[in-house]
Structure 1
Amino acid sequence: MSINVNTTSTLYTLLSRQRQTAEVAGKLEAASREVSTGLMSDPYKSIGIRSAEALGLRARMDRNEGLMVANTVLQSRLDLTAETLGAIRETGQEVLDLAVANRGARAGTLGAIQGLARQALEQITSQLNTGYNGAQLFAGIAVDATPVQRYGEVNAGTGRAPKDVIDEVIGGGIASAADAAAKIAEIEGIFADADPDPARNFEATFYNGAPRLDASGAPVPRLQTRIEENETLEYGVQANDQGFRDLIRGLSMLAGTDAQSIADDGAYEAWTSSAVDAMASGLADVLQSEVKLGSQQKTLDFTIRAQTDRSDLYNSQILSLEGVDTYEAATRVAQLQTQLEATYSITARLSRLSFANYMR
């Protein structure tokens, strides 16, 4: 009578232990990750049919996070725009205060007006040409264009500098009240884009951003962006808005001629009064732009706060589905560590057996 005895070679046992060691190590790694993150290592396997709910929550949270990031960038852009508008008003107000003191009557500070106006033009031009994150703040949808042409620099599109246009109008100076009125009207036409010579108009030589009207005469849309799933925000201030046109017009009139050289009192009063009125109107409009921008900032701030709250809610709901009991996970880690150490010990003993043991 014969008896069959099933034996397992030590080589097979070693290989089996190595596979078991790898499995335990994998489980230990997953459990350790659960302890550190507080989330299941394989939630969709663990929660079964509720996986679709978890996937939906994560998708909504990702969309919400994307909107929050974009809105935060826009918030910084609007903050810089508001800061720049405030600086423009301060720059223009300094010239206006001096011009008002000399309106209609020549004061001792009259000689400083032309130089200060030129300086303010350069400063306001630089402020209006401010960019953020690679895009111009005051060029409208033409975000790559530098919106305002420097006063003394030739515009490549027309071959004229803004200073050239003003000098053409003023010519040899302001001779009389009638001469002043005619030249004031001509300058008003230029800044209203109504001059017979298109190359002299504001949006041709003075401004390079998005125009106010398109070729068909329809208003060119403003910048806008989606700040919520079903909400868009139109935003931005453009350097061709009426307030900037008036402000630059008044400054150009004061910078274009030395008011001291206007001998006729009627001409002097007409010229300085027109420049002062243009600047005052422009600064008032700039202030209104700041108010409108403040409303846009308030809307955006409210939206970001709501999105932050929503993100917290999504995160809480996801944790309720995919979260783990950290105490239970820590206990599992300890058990797996003990099991792994035992497996290592047995595997090490098997690996030290001789070739004869393997062939047994």
Structure 2
Amino acid sequence: MADLLSNISTLQSSLARRREVARLTIGMSKAEKEVTTGLRADLFRDLGQRAAESVRLRNIVARNEGYIASNKLLNGRMEITSIAMSEMRQVADDFLALAVSGANPGDAISSELQANARYAIERIVTQANTVYQGSHIFAGIDQDRKPMQGWTQTSAATGLSPEDVMTSVIGAGPASLADVATITAEVNAVFDGTHATAGYTYEGTFYNGTAAATGQRVEARIGEGVTVSHGIQANDDGFTELMKGLSMLASIDVSKITDEATYGAYLDAAVQSISMGSQKLLGAEASLGSTQALVEETIERHEKVNDVYAIRMVDLEGVDAYEAATRLSMLQTQLEASYAVTARLSSLTFLNFLR
């Protein structure tokens, strides 16, 4: 019986030492993690019910970080959009300056207007086909489509190029004021989508993006319950007016219009359209700027909220680095002592006693 009790006592002692070593090891691991991170290793055990507040704050911060990331991408898109629109307005304004100086038929400048109008169209189409993050920014919700056709580029939908349409509509150009009125009316029908001939419309041959009739615009959710519409499309009024005026001058050599009144009326119609297009682009750019300012303010607000919540989370989850280091040192000392005792006990044999 004495031997049995002795064996049980030895077993219990061994198990007790193992449990103590395990406890000290776990405590050291926890203290080491807290020293390294400065945060509680076992948040729910230490905080109890207050841990729910920490979880809630972390969820809000994570959601805000998602908004911050997406809003920064949106801000970049709007910045690129604004730059492209500014470039297009500059192209229009430069051409207007040239057109105004070529107000007299038959002079050297008037003979250059056709080539310069085509070059201006080429530059505007290039800007309108700008891509950001793999998406065409002026195509509406159909961002996988290149929104604008080149002047001589055939549309897959109609089999016509913008040049084909305008050459057919304008022909050799006006010979009288009556011709100017007739041609202008037909050109207007092309660009407002009411022309009777199939394919002879801006959205049919010039433009490939989302149709205006859908009423759908590119939108973005920038915060909880806050959605902004930021999509500017290459079929908006500013684009159609600008392209209409330039197309009128790109289709014919206006220097060949011999009647001065007819020349003046035709040039004036084209110039007014270009000027109106430039003004409408400026208005759209200003509206975009307001939306961009709102997005930037939202980014800043989310960042500030996250900073405040981060301080509160540190208050909840943080540990005293000095206290954690002291606890780690004490646990290490205790563990070393436990190992030393275990080593000494393991060496206490009858043979060692007889030596």
Aligned to 2:192: 192
Tell me: CA distance 1:221–1:78, structure 2 relative to 1, closer, same or farther (3 Å): same
Q: How far apart are the structure 2 equivalents of 1:2 and 1:30?
A: 42
TM-score by length of 2: 0.89
Tell me: CA distance 1:278–1:3, structure 2 relative to 1, closer, same or farther (3 Å): closer
TM-score by length of 1: 0.88
Aligned to 1:87: 87
SS in 1 for 2:39: coil
Aligned to 2:284: 289
Q: How far apart are the structure 2 equivalents of 1:257 and 1:212?
A: 29
Aligned to 1:28: 28
Q: Does 1:238 align with 2:233?
A: yes
For residues 117-169 of structure 1, give each alpha carbon's deviation from its aligned partner in whole angstroms, at most 9, with x where no partner exists.
Answer: 11111111111111211222111122222111111111101111111101111
Tell me: CA distance 1:234–1:11, structure 2 relative to 1, closer, same or farther (3 Å): same
User: Which moves more between the two structures, 283-292 or 127-136?
Assistant: 127-136
Structure 2 gap ranges (5+)? none
- Aligned positions, number: 351
CA root-mean-square deviation: 2.8
Aligned to 1:146: 146
Q: How far apart are the structure 1 equivalents of 2:165 and 2:343?
A: 92
Tell me: CA distance 1:237–1:8, structure 2 relative to 1, closer, same or farther (3 Å): same
Aligned to 1:76: 76
Q: How far apart are the structure 1 equivalents of 2:17 and 2:173?
A: 102
Q: Does 1:277 align with 2:240?
A: no
Residue type matched to 2:193 in 1? D
User: Which moves more between the two structures, 243-252 or 58-67?
Assistant: 58-67
Q: How far apart are the structure 2 equivalents of 1:111 and 1:12?
A: 109
Aligned to 1:57: 57
User: Which moves more between the two structures, 327-336 or 86-95?
Assistant: 327-336
Q: How far apart are the structure 2 equivalents of 1:202 and 1:47?
A: 66
For residues 209-265 of structure 1, give each alpha carbon's deviation from its aligned partner in whole angstroms, at most 9, with x where no partner exists.
Answer: 111113xxxxx1222122121211111211111011011111111111112222222
5 Å-filtered alignment, 1:1-360, equals: 6-7=6-7, 21=21, 23-214=23-214, 220-342=215-337
Tell me: CA distance 1:193–1:177, structure 2 relative to 1, closer, same or farther (3 Å): same
Tell me: CA distance 1:88–1:348, structure 2 relative to 1, closer, same or farther (3 Å): farther
Structure 1 gap ranges (5+)? 215-219
Q: Offset of 1:67 from its aligned partner?
A: 1.5
Q: Offset of 1:2 from its aligned partner?
A: 6.1
User: Which moves more between the two structures, 13-22 or 294-303?
Assistant: 13-22
User: Which moves more between the two structures, 96-105 or 196-205?
Assistant: 96-105
Q: How far apart are the structure 2 equivalents of 1:37 and 1:224?
A: 41
SS in 1 for 2:228: strand
Q: How far apart are the structure 2 equivalents of 1:24 and 1:113?
A: 88
User: Which moves more between the two structures, 173-182 or 203-212?
Assistant: 173-182
Q: How far apart are the structure 1 equivalents of 2:84 and 2:327?
A: 59
Q: How far apart are the structure 1 equivalents of 2:13 and 2:289?
A: 75
Residue identity over aligned pairs, in percent, reads: 40
Q: How far apart are the structure 1 equivalents of 2:227 and 2:50?
A: 33
- Is 1:103–1:276's contact at 8 Å kept on the other side of the alignment? no
Q: How far apart are the structure 2 equivalents of 1:187 and 1:109?
A: 24
Residue type matched to 1:126 in 2? T
Tell me: CA distance 1:321–1:263, structure 2 relative to 1, closer, same or farther (3 Å): same
- Is 2:104–2:110's contact at 8 Å kept on the other side of the alignment? no
User: Which moves more between the two structures, 48-57 or 5-14?
Assistant: 5-14
User: Which moves more between the two structures, 186-195 or 163-172?
Assistant: 163-172
